[in-house]
């Protein structure tokens, strides 16, 4: 599941609607919604995101957060290390090989480390 899939599922549950009901209301198939929620589809387009925001009648700040979550939810990530030192490429490749076996605690710690590095840059 992606962060966007989790957010959309929470919105649906809060409103008390099924994927089938939501899909009919916003003009997509239930299979597409299911694939988004389970991370089997990439980032949704802006039109879809606007329809979701309208369907749930969410305010601009919450909609903007939903759009940011969608941006961070592509399950097929490409990391371009062209022109970077060799250790950057090695790290990107090692992460791609090992990400499936990392514990949630390790993932959380890595995210904290990356956020700290971003702040100090």
Residue 84 DSSP class: S
Cα distance between residue 51 and residue 55, in whole Å? 6
- Mean pLDDT of the 103-119 span: 91
| pLDDT score of 119 | 81
pTM: 0.69
Q: Contact at 8 Å (CB) between 43 and 37?
A: no
Higher pLDDT, 25 or 42: 25
Task: Name which of 17-21, 59-63, 78-82, 94-98 the model is least confident about.
Answer: 59-63
- pLDDT confidence band for 43 (50 / 70 / 90): confident
Residue 21: count of CB within 10 angstroms of its CB: 14
Concatenating the DSSP letter of every residue in 28-76 gives: S-HHHHHHHHTT-S-PPPHHHHHHHHHHHT--HHHHHHHHHHHHT--SS
């Amino acid at each position: 599941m992606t962060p966007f899939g989790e957010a959309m599922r929470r919105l649906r549950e809060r409103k008390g609607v099924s994927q089938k009901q939501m899909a009919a209301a916003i003009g997509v198939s239930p299979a597409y919604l299911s694939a988004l929620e389970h991370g089997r589809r990439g980032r949704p387009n802006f039109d879809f995101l606007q329809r979701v925001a309208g369907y749930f009648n969410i305010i601009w700040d919450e909609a903007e957060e939903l759009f940011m979550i969608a941006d961070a939810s592509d399950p097929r990530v490409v990391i371009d290390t062209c022109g970077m030192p060799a250790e950057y490429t090695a790290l990107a490749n090692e992460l791609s090989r090992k990400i499936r076996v990392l514990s949630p605690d390790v993932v959380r710690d890595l995210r904290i480390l990356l956020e700290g590095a971003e702040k100090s840059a």
